[in-house]
């Protein structure tokens, strides 16, 4: 089996590339990070160093591929709109063009549940539920536009399946938990709201499982989108308290009002947009809502159509992350963008 993985130098793309190699697939890894690509080359994996907006490179990379796993994207809650447009929309258009030209058997597209996000609690969101009138940020807006490009390709006869994985974590994560740990270490994290918000998380290998299921899924799944989580929502602040206990960090006891912090974040966003270069604010409304508002997804469609069953539980995944962190993570720089 032959496959191209876009965004292979990222967290999810890298995990998928490694799994495919172990399964005996012939993999081509596309990404920008030359150091990670060199490691893939040392393992005998073909690589393409290119940006997603490089149309010719992306089209060429699709040649002779049976499957394309489109994991690449610009994932952040802040940044210039043109950067999101280039990576998330134009990049997806380029991947689709490559699949069409080289008659790729199936495209598996990684989207995001950020398109559902609203500043009020939403529980058991289905793929068919109404979306907010206005996307929460440029990441959500451009990923929704990317989905629309995939929908067009599906209507034209291309075999495509889309997944929307939520809050991916595990060994190798450079974003979600590491960013929280960084704030805990610096003593700047506060409990926002009542601390009772419920959220979904997804262990990295479970997401990889779902991608492999998409590759072999029956025709009933073609053209559809699927929520992917661990299927076991958690109280987020209880998890962070456990994280503090395991790492010897001080758990934040001070609580702040969500409306007050949200208003402050909105003010910071407004100011930063007026500053040349639009530097990232200390807080964004998205990041505030992420840690203070309940949001869970219904994954019954993925279970029914794909046969998806979360193989690694929240507890097992959490222990794997902690073990990896204690073993290797402290020597790494953890500034990064959030990951879905």
97: exposed, middle or buried (Cβ count in 10 Å: 0-12, 13-18, 19+): middle
End-to-end CA distance of the chain: 27
Based on the residue annotation, tell me whether 258 is a catalytic residue of this protein: no
List 139, 226, 258, 286, catalytic entry: 139
d(CA 169, CA 204): 6
Helices 314-328, 236-247: axis angle to 10 degrees equals 40
Give the pairing of strands 106-110 and 255-256: unpaired
For residue 149, which of 219, 84, 65, 90 has the smallest C-alpha distance? 90
Measure the CA angle with vertex 95, ends 89 and 101; round to 5°: 135
Please answer whether residues 171 and 161 qualify as being in contact, where contact means their C-beta atoms are separated by less than 8 angstroms. Answer: no
Residues known to be catalytic: 139
């Amino acid at each position: 089996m032959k496959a191209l993985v876009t965004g292979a130098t990222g967290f999810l793309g890298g995990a998928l590339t490694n799994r495919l190699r172990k399964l005996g697939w012939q993999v081509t890894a596309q990404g920008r990070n030359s150091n990670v690509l060199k490691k893939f080359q040392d393992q005998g994996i073909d690589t393409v160093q290119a940006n997603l907006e490089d149309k010719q490179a992306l089209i060429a990379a699709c040649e002779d591929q049976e499957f394309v796993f489109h994991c690449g994207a610009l994932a952040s809650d802040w940044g210039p709109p043109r950067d999101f447009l280039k990576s998330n929309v134009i990049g997806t258009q380029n991947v689709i063009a490559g699949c069409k030209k080289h008659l790729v058997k199936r495209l598996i597209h990684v989207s995001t549940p950020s398109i559902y996000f609203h500043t009020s609690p939403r529980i058991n969101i289905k793929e068919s539920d109404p979306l907010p009138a206005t996307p929460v940020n440029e990441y959500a807006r451009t990923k929704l536009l990317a989905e629309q490009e995939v929908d067009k390709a599906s209507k034209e006869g291309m075999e495509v399946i889309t997944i929307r994985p939520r809050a991916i974590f595990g060994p190798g994560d450079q974003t979600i938990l590491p960013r929280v740990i960084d704030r805990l270490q610096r003593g700047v994290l506060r409990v926002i709201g009542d601390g009772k918000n419920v959220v979904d998380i997804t262990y990295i290998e479970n997401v990889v499982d779902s991608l492999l299921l998409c590759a072999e899924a029956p025709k009933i799944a073609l053209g559809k989108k699927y929520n992917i989580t661990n299927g076991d929502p958690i109280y987020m602040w209880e998890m962070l308290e456990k994280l503090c206990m395991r790492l010897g960090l001080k758990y934040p006891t001070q609580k702040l009002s969500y409306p007050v912090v949200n208003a402050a974040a909105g003010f910071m966003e407004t100011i930063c947009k007026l500053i040349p270069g639009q530097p990232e604010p200390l807080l964004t409304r998205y990041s505030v809502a992420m840690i203070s508002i309940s949001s869970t997804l219904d994954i019954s469609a993925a279970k029914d159509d794909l046969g998806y069953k979360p193989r690694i539980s929240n507890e097992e995944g959490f222990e794997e992350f902690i073990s990896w962190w204690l073993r290797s993570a402290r020597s790494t720089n953890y500034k990064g963008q959030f990951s879905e």
